[in-house]
Structure 1
Amino acid sequence: MSKPFTGRHMWAVMICGFGVVIGVNFFMATLAVRGFGGVVVENSYVASQKFNGWLSAAREQEQLGWSAQAVRQADGNVRIVTAGVPAGADVSARFRRPLGKPETLDLDFNSAAPGEYVSSASVPSGRWIARIAILTQDDRWTGEVRIE
Protein backbone atom coordinates (compact mmCIF):
# COMPACT_ATOMS: atom_id res chain seq x y z
CA MET A 1 0.00 0.00 0.00
CA SER A 2 1.42 3.37 -1.03
CA LYS A 3 1.25 6.52 1.03
CA PRO A 4 -1.06 9.29 -0.20
CA PHE A 5 0.43 12.37 -1.91
CA THR A 6 0.13 15.09 0.73
CA GLY A 7 0.77 18.80 0.98
CA ARG A 8 4.21 18.10 2.39
CA HIS A 9 5.09 16.12 -0.73
CA MET A 10 3.91 18.98 -2.94
CA TRP A 11 5.92 21.44 -0.85
CA ALA A 12 9.08 19.28 -1.30
CA VAL A 13 8.54 19.02 -5.08
CA MET A 14 8.07 22.81 -5.36
CA ILE A 15 11.17 23.58 -3.27
CA CYS A 16 13.32 21.12 -5.22
CA GLY A 17 12.02 22.34 -8.60
CA PHE A 18 12.54 26.02 -7.84
CA GLY A 19 15.89 25.19 -6.21
CA VAL A 20 17.13 23.62 -9.44
CA VAL A 21 15.93 26.59 -11.53
CA ILE A 22 17.50 29.16 -9.19
CA GLY A 23 20.74 27.17 -8.95
CA VAL A 24 21.08 26.95 -12.74
CA ASN A 25 20.31 30.68 -13.09
CA PHE A 26 23.03 31.61 -10.58
CA PHE A 27 25.50 29.28 -12.27
CA MET A 28 24.81 30.73 -15.74
CA ALA A 29 24.95 34.32 -14.44
CA THR A 30 28.32 33.61 -12.83
CA LEU A 31 29.69 32.23 -16.10
CA ALA A 32 28.37 35.25 -18.00
CA VAL A 33 29.89 37.79 -15.62
CA ARG A 34 33.28 36.05 -15.50
CA GLY A 35 33.43 35.82 -19.30
CA PHE A 36 32.64 39.49 -19.93
CA GLY A 37 35.81 41.50 -20.45
CA GLY A 38 34.46 44.97 -19.80
CA VAL A 39 32.41 47.78 -21.23
CA VAL A 40 32.08 48.36 -24.94
CA VAL A 41 31.50 52.11 -24.52
CA GLU A 42 31.69 54.20 -21.37
CA ASN A 43 28.50 56.14 -22.07
CA SER A 44 25.98 54.79 -24.59
CA TYR A 45 24.23 58.16 -24.98
CA VAL A 46 27.47 59.93 -25.92
CA ALA A 47 28.35 57.07 -28.28
CA SER A 48 24.96 57.38 -29.98
CA GLN A 49 25.61 61.08 -30.62
CA LYS A 50 28.89 60.20 -32.38
CA PHE A 51 27.38 57.40 -34.49
CA ASN A 52 26.72 59.44 -37.65
CA GLY A 53 30.31 60.75 -37.55
CA TRP A 54 31.57 57.19 -37.29
CA LEU A 55 29.48 56.19 -40.32
CA SER A 56 30.89 59.11 -42.31
CA ALA A 57 34.46 58.15 -41.36
CA ALA A 58 33.76 54.53 -42.37
CA ARG A 59 32.54 55.67 -45.80
CA GLU A 60 35.67 57.79 -46.28
CA GLN A 61 37.80 54.83 -45.22
CA GLU A 62 36.08 52.55 -47.76
CA GLN A 63 36.87 55.02 -50.53
CA LEU A 64 40.58 54.62 -49.80
CA GLY A 65 40.36 51.02 -51.03
CA TRP A 66 42.89 49.77 -48.50
CA SER A 67 42.81 46.33 -46.92
CA ALA A 68 44.91 44.36 -44.45
CA GLN A 69 45.18 40.71 -43.45
CA ALA A 70 47.09 39.47 -40.42
CA VAL A 71 48.70 36.07 -39.80
CA ARG A 72 50.65 34.82 -36.80
CA GLN A 73 54.00 33.40 -37.88
CA ALA A 74 55.72 30.37 -36.35
CA ASP A 75 57.92 32.61 -34.15
CA GLY A 76 54.83 34.33 -32.67
CA ASN A 77 55.26 37.59 -34.56
CA VAL A 78 52.35 38.83 -36.63
CA ARG A 79 52.69 39.62 -40.32
CA ILE A 80 50.26 42.10 -41.86
CA VAL A 81 49.86 42.05 -45.63
CA THR A 82 48.26 45.19 -47.03
CA ALA A 83 46.75 46.07 -50.38
CA GLY A 84 46.46 49.58 -51.78
CA VAL A 85 48.40 51.19 -48.92
CA PRO A 86 51.00 53.76 -50.01
CA ALA A 87 54.65 53.17 -49.16
CA GLY A 88 55.88 54.68 -45.91
CA ALA A 89 52.65 54.17 -43.98
CA ASP A 90 52.82 53.67 -40.22
CA VAL A 91 51.17 50.44 -39.05
CA SER A 92 50.24 49.60 -35.47
CA ALA A 93 47.75 47.29 -33.82
CA ARG A 94 46.04 46.80 -30.49
CA PHE A 95 45.42 43.15 -29.67
CA ARG A 96 42.71 42.13 -27.20
CA ARG A 97 41.36 38.83 -26.01
CA PRO A 98 37.77 38.23 -27.19
CA LEU A 99 36.76 36.28 -24.07
CA GLY A 100 37.80 35.75 -20.51
CA LYS A 101 40.15 37.91 -18.51
CA PRO A 102 40.74 41.27 -20.23
CA GLU A 103 44.16 41.41 -21.81
CA THR A 104 45.46 43.93 -24.34
CA LEU A 105 48.74 44.27 -26.18
CA ASP A 106 49.86 47.25 -28.29
CA LEU A 107 52.40 46.58 -31.05
CA ASP A 108 54.14 48.59 -33.73
CA PHE A 109 55.00 47.04 -37.08
CA ASN A 110 58.12 47.38 -39.21
CA SER A 111 58.13 47.24 -42.98
CA ALA A 112 59.41 43.85 -44.17
CA ALA A 113 58.65 44.18 -47.88
CA PRO A 114 56.42 46.39 -50.01
CA GLY A 115 52.93 46.02 -48.52
CA GLU A 116 54.11 43.71 -45.72
CA TYR A 117 54.73 44.59 -42.08
CA VAL A 118 56.01 42.44 -39.19
CA SER A 119 55.31 43.09 -35.52
CA SER A 120 58.11 44.37 -33.29
CA ALA A 121 57.36 41.67 -30.68
CA SER A 122 55.66 38.30 -30.54
CA VAL A 123 52.03 37.76 -29.59
CA PRO A 124 51.23 35.02 -27.04
CA SER A 125 49.33 32.02 -28.35
CA GLY A 126 45.56 31.89 -28.25
CA ARG A 127 42.72 33.87 -29.76
CA TRP A 128 43.11 37.60 -30.29
CA ILE A 129 41.24 40.37 -32.07
CA ALA A 130 43.62 42.87 -33.65
CA ARG A 131 42.49 46.43 -34.37
CA ILE A 132 44.92 47.50 -37.09
CA ALA A 133 45.61 51.20 -37.66
CA ILE A 134 47.35 52.41 -40.81
CA LEU A 135 48.38 56.06 -40.94
CA THR A 136 49.76 58.21 -43.73
CA GLN A 137 50.20 61.97 -43.73
CA ASP A 138 46.65 62.52 -45.00
CA ASP A 139 44.67 59.37 -44.31
CA ARG A 140 43.82 56.95 -41.51
CA TRP A 141 42.48 53.41 -41.91
CA THR A 142 41.39 51.01 -39.17
CA GLY A 143 40.10 47.47 -39.32
CA GLU A 144 39.71 44.43 -37.11
CA VAL A 145 40.90 40.91 -37.83
CA ARG A 146 40.92 37.72 -35.78
CA ILE A 147 44.16 35.96 -34.97
CA GLU A 148 44.08 32.31 -33.92
Structure 2
Amino acid sequence: MSSGTRRKGEFTGRHMALVLVGGFAIVAAVNFYMASRAVGGFHGVVVENSYVASQKFNTWLAEAEKARALGWEVRPGRGEDGHVLVETANVPAGARLEAELRRPIGTKQFETLVFNPLPDGLHRSTAPVDAGRWTMRLTITAGDDVWVGESEL
Protein backbone atom coordinates (compact mmCIF):
# COMPACT_ATOMS: atom_id res chain seq x y z
CA MET A 1 0.00 0.00 0.00
CA SER A 2 1.41 3.39 -0.89
CA SER A 3 1.74 6.23 1.57
CA GLY A 4 -0.88 8.33 -0.24
CA THR A 5 -3.74 5.85 -0.02
CA ARG A 6 -5.81 4.97 2.97
CA ARG A 7 -8.17 2.11 3.67
CA LYS A 8 -11.79 2.89 4.43
CA GLY A 9 -12.56 2.79 8.19
CA GLU A 10 -8.92 3.11 9.25
CA PHE A 11 -8.35 4.80 12.65
CA THR A 12 -6.00 7.74 12.08
CA GLY A 13 -4.30 10.40 14.13
CA ARG A 14 -7.12 12.78 13.28
CA HIS A 15 -9.63 10.37 14.83
CA MET A 16 -7.50 10.09 17.97
CA ALA A 17 -7.28 13.88 18.23
CA LEU A 18 -11.08 14.14 17.97
CA VAL A 19 -11.52 11.50 20.70
CA LEU A 20 -9.15 13.36 23.03
CA VAL A 21 -10.70 16.78 22.39
CA GLY A 22 -14.24 15.37 22.78
CA GLY A 23 -13.33 13.55 26.01
CA PHE A 24 -11.74 16.63 27.57
CA ALA A 25 -14.71 18.76 26.45
CA ILE A 26 -17.11 16.42 28.25
CA VAL A 27 -14.99 16.44 31.42
CA ALA A 28 -14.70 20.26 31.36
CA ALA A 29 -18.47 20.68 30.78
CA VAL A 30 -19.30 18.38 33.71
CA ASN A 31 -16.80 20.19 35.96
CA PHE A 32 -18.22 23.61 35.12
CA TYR A 33 -21.76 22.38 35.70
CA MET A 34 -20.90 20.82 39.09
CA ALA A 35 -18.96 23.93 40.18
CA SER A 36 -21.90 26.18 39.30
CA ARG A 37 -24.27 23.94 41.30
CA ALA A 38 -21.90 23.97 44.30
CA VAL A 39 -21.49 27.74 44.27
CA GLY A 40 -25.24 28.27 43.84
CA GLY A 41 -25.99 26.23 46.97
CA PHE A 42 -23.39 27.99 49.14
CA HIS A 43 -24.86 30.83 51.17
CA GLY A 44 -21.70 32.71 51.97
CA VAL A 45 -18.87 32.73 54.41
CA VAL A 46 -19.05 31.42 57.96
CA VAL A 47 -17.06 34.38 59.30
CA GLU A 48 -16.18 37.61 57.53
CA ASN A 49 -12.60 37.74 58.83
CA SER A 50 -10.96 34.54 60.04
CA TYR A 51 -8.22 36.41 61.92
CA VAL A 52 -10.74 38.42 63.96
CA ALA A 53 -12.75 35.24 64.58
CA SER A 54 -9.62 33.49 65.84
CA GLN A 55 -9.11 36.28 68.37
CA LYS A 56 -12.63 35.71 69.73
CA PHE A 57 -12.36 31.91 69.84
CA ASN A 58 -11.37 31.62 73.52
CA THR A 59 -14.20 33.98 74.48
CA TRP A 60 -16.64 31.78 72.54
CA LEU A 61 -15.32 28.70 74.34
CA ALA A 62 -15.75 30.40 77.73
CA GLU A 63 -19.33 31.41 76.87
CA ALA A 64 -20.12 27.85 75.77
CA GLU A 65 -18.68 26.43 79.00
CA LYS A 66 -20.70 28.92 81.05
CA ALA A 67 -23.88 27.90 79.19
CA ARG A 68 -23.07 24.20 79.68
CA ALA A 69 -22.58 24.81 83.42
CA LEU A 70 -26.18 26.05 83.68
CA GLY A 71 -27.32 22.44 83.32
CA TRP A 72 -30.19 23.29 81.01
CA GLU A 73 -31.37 20.47 78.76
CA VAL A 74 -32.99 21.22 75.42
CA ARG A 75 -34.55 18.86 72.88
CA PRO A 76 -35.94 20.51 69.74
CA GLY A 77 -38.30 18.84 67.31
CA ARG A 78 -41.07 19.51 64.87
CA GLY A 79 -44.75 18.77 65.41
CA GLU A 80 -47.04 17.27 62.78
CA ASP A 81 -48.57 20.71 62.19
CA GLY A 82 -45.17 22.23 61.26
CA HIS A 83 -44.65 24.11 64.52
CA VAL A 84 -41.29 23.76 66.23
CA LEU A 85 -41.50 22.20 69.69
CA VAL A 86 -38.72 22.61 72.22
CA GLU A 87 -38.72 20.41 75.29
CA THR A 88 -36.65 21.87 78.13
CA ALA A 89 -35.51 20.67 81.54
CA ASN A 90 -33.96 22.69 84.38
CA VAL A 91 -34.71 25.95 82.56
CA PRO A 92 -36.14 28.61 84.90
CA ALA A 93 -39.79 29.58 84.53
CA GLY A 94 -40.25 32.71 82.47
CA ALA A 95 -37.20 32.09 80.28
CA ARG A 96 -37.49 33.53 76.77
CA LEU A 97 -36.80 31.31 73.75
CA GLU A 98 -35.96 32.63 70.29
CA ALA A 99 -34.62 30.82 67.25
CA GLU A 100 -33.06 31.72 63.95
CA LEU A 101 -33.53 29.16 61.19
CA ARG A 102 -31.58 28.90 57.97
CA ARG A 103 -31.50 26.43 55.13
CA PRO A 104 -28.09 24.70 55.20
CA ILE A 105 -28.07 24.10 51.43
CA GLY A 106 -30.06 24.97 48.37
CA THR A 107 -32.28 28.03 48.23
CA LYS A 108 -31.26 30.77 50.64
CA GLN A 109 -34.02 31.03 53.23
CA PHE A 110 -34.09 32.40 56.78
CA GLU A 111 -36.79 32.43 59.46
CA THR A 112 -37.04 33.87 62.97
CA LEU A 113 -39.15 32.10 65.57
CA VAL A 114 -40.62 33.15 68.89
CA PHE A 115 -41.97 30.55 71.30
CA ASN A 116 -44.93 30.38 73.67
CA PRO A 117 -44.50 28.35 76.86
CA LEU A 118 -46.69 25.28 77.41
CA PRO A 119 -46.96 23.11 80.52
CA ASP A 120 -44.15 20.72 81.57
CA GLY A 121 -41.23 22.69 80.09
CA LEU A 122 -42.52 22.52 76.54
CA HIS A 123 -42.37 25.53 74.20
CA ARG A 124 -44.15 25.86 70.85
CA SER A 125 -43.28 28.25 68.04
CA THR A 126 -45.89 30.90 67.28
CA ALA A 127 -45.67 30.14 63.54
CA PRO A 128 -45.21 26.91 61.60
CA VAL A 129 -42.05 26.23 59.61
CA ASP A 130 -41.93 25.06 56.01
CA ALA A 131 -41.07 21.40 55.52
CA GLY A 132 -37.52 20.43 54.72
CA ARG A 133 -34.11 20.62 56.29
CA TRP A 134 -33.23 23.55 58.57
CA THR A 135 -30.40 24.51 60.90
CA MET A 136 -31.75 26.11 64.08
CA ARG A 137 -29.78 28.41 66.38
CA LEU A 138 -31.77 28.53 69.62
CA THR A 139 -31.20 31.19 72.28
CA ILE A 140 -32.67 30.88 75.78
CA THR A 141 -32.47 33.91 78.05
CA ALA A 142 -33.35 33.94 81.76
CA GLY A 143 -32.16 37.10 83.49
CA ASP A 144 -28.40 37.35 82.94
CA ASP A 145 -28.09 33.68 81.97
CA VAL A 146 -27.91 32.93 78.26
CA TRP A 147 -27.85 29.51 76.62
CA VAL A 148 -27.19 29.15 72.89
CA GLY A 149 -27.26 25.94 70.89
CA GLU A 150 -27.41 24.91 67.29
CA SER A 151 -29.05 21.79 65.91
CA GLU A 152 -30.56 20.30 62.76
CA LEU A 153 -34.32 20.47 62.49
Deviations 1:91-145 (A, max 9, x none): 1111111111111111111111131111111111111111110001121001112
Calculate percent identity across the aligned residue pairs.
Answer: 50
What are the equivalent positions in structure 2 for 1:1-148 lying under 5 Å apart?
Answer: 3-147=9-153
RMSD of equivalent CA atoms = 1.5
Structure label with greater radius of gyration: 2
Match of 2:4 in 1: none
Deviations 1:23-47 (A, max 9, x none): 1110110110111122211222211
Structure 2 distance, partners of 1:124, 1:18, is 42
Deviation at 1:3, TM superposition (A): 4.7
Structure 1's unaligned 5+ residue stretches are: none
Structure 1 distance, partners of 2:45, 2:106, is 13
Structure 2 distance, partners of 1:96, 1:31, is 19
- Provide the TM-score with structure 2 as the length reference: 0.88
Contact 1:94 1:130 in 2 (8 A): yes
Q: Size of the alignment, in residue pairs? A: 147
2:67 maps to a residue whose letter is Q
Deviation at 1:49, TM superposition (A): 1.4
2:110 maps to a residue whose letter is T
Residue aligned with 1:113, SS: coil
Deviation at 1:4, TM superposition (A): 4.4
